[in-house]
Structure 1
Amino acid sequence: MPSVPPSAAPRAVRVVIVTVAALAAVALSGPLAPARAQDTRALVADMQVRLNQLEEMVRGLTGQLEQAEHRTRQLEQRVDLLERELDMRLGGQAGPGTAPDRAPGAATSPAPLPAPAPGSPQPLAPDSGVLGYLSEPAPEAAPSSTPTPAPITDAAARAVLPDAPPEEQYQHAFSLLRQGDYRRAEQAFGAFIAVNPQHRLAGNAQYWLGETHYARGDYENAAVAFAKGYKAYPDGSKTPDNLFKLGMSMSALGKPREACAAFQKLRADFPDVAGTLQRQVADQMARNGC
């Protein structure tokens, strides 16, 4: 909602007041019967009282709008800080090949893979394999122990989100993720995307949805979520992270060629990503024999 300059609305009201007063002065300057003049003065006085009340109301609404905008800015800053903190916990500080903050009993990443033997199939080109993952049938090997999440209806989505602006709904889902409540965080992020598909935070929510699966060792649904984040939000701030975690998920599923495709695509499209992510990509490419 565009902000209203604090003085714009009251200034317009004052212009109306001045105009009414001028018209009243003109009306009273002519020859009027005493009773009519008295009625006109009473009418002008009543109008001025009402306009003063309106001006006061506009000032109050302007103040409320400014307060709401200030709270929104504070909330956005807080969300940014929390995202950076959680990103460090889930990925930035994790050693190569690990799934940080994984629920107890979740599967671990595979051991380092040897380099391909001469004559063996070479890694896929960056634009093949894994980047078409969503349009291909689900892998037949080792089906996931966690069922594929069912589509979320609008009513179900609103049942798991607070009745609040999208920014507060996003923060609610994010707080569940920080607490390690991955199941409820999955539901909340999925609900946020369902009811706010065009919101500027939808791409971030899609990435964190993938993290709720990855942290529990559900690498197949994680791969689907990260691939969808890459395809649906190619210009989002989480696009490099989606590619990286897509590669990590495919590696954990025992698919080094697809993992390499994601890592190579990340390097090709985002050569200027942060040094930490560059080092992690290099480590993972070495582990997967890219």
Structure 2
Amino acid sequence: MTKWMAGSALALVMAGSAATPAAAQIEGRVGKLEAEMRAVQRKVFPGGAGAMVEPQIAPSTAPVDAAGVPATSALTDITARVTSLEQQMASMTGQIEQTQYKLRQLEQQFEDYRKATDAKLTQPVAPAPAAGGDAVGGSGVTVPQAPEPVSGASDAIAAPSSGDPAEDAYLAGYRLWQARDYPAAEAQLKKVVATYPKHRRASFAQNLLGRSYLDEGKPSLASIAFYDNYKKFPDGERAPDSLYYLGTALLKLDKPADACKVYGELTDVYGSKISPGLKADVAKARAAAKCK
């Protein structure tokens, strides 16, 4: 064998021996990628049988090229694709971990709020003084404080008879609230809203329902009633009043920042429709909440 032939043979053997470790290394990286992909999928699809995504890179089953055929280009291409997959896997894993962390934070915040609200509901709260706005007249009319409820007082209240069933139903609820028979008033006012949702008194009844809860020392229920009036009857006559009293309920729940947002919403949405009396009440409330 000539020196030239010996040198060529040696070069071919060296090329083949160099390609084999490179291929084995790539197969090892692919296997690691597959394992990481399964771990990520188990986080995204816990217990989801059949939801696993098959890898797009698998060990080659094609016959190995004969010695002497250059394999550098193919190996370089596969190596680049594996490197790209590794980078995508690292990015995906980081995004999943961030999402899970944020979800745990939201769950903890909601649990803290629920516990705080439950604790406040179990504490007796003094009834809020009436600030006017739900009398038969217009907004801003102050309603005199009614005397303490007397046993059987609700039965003694005369049923109104104006010829308008919705008006009569609302006035009945209003008189019950005025007599401080809050449970009976709340039941009557809920009935008005459910039975006559298209009547102008529906807005009055929903707002007065929130005030009844507020006077009864239930600011959480009051806040829901006021918010529902604003959402269900945004054009109702008592929608601005409900936003004002919603701020009052939030202050009782020790949420001054949220109350300030509500006062801002009231001014933005109903600025030109707010009565002078209600404007004055809002200004005082904003000062008490230290709104910016």
TM-score by structure 1 length?
0.45
TM-score by structure 2 length?
0.45
Q: Relative CO higher for 1 or 2, CA cutoff 8 Å, sep ≥ 6?
A: 1
Larger Rg: 2
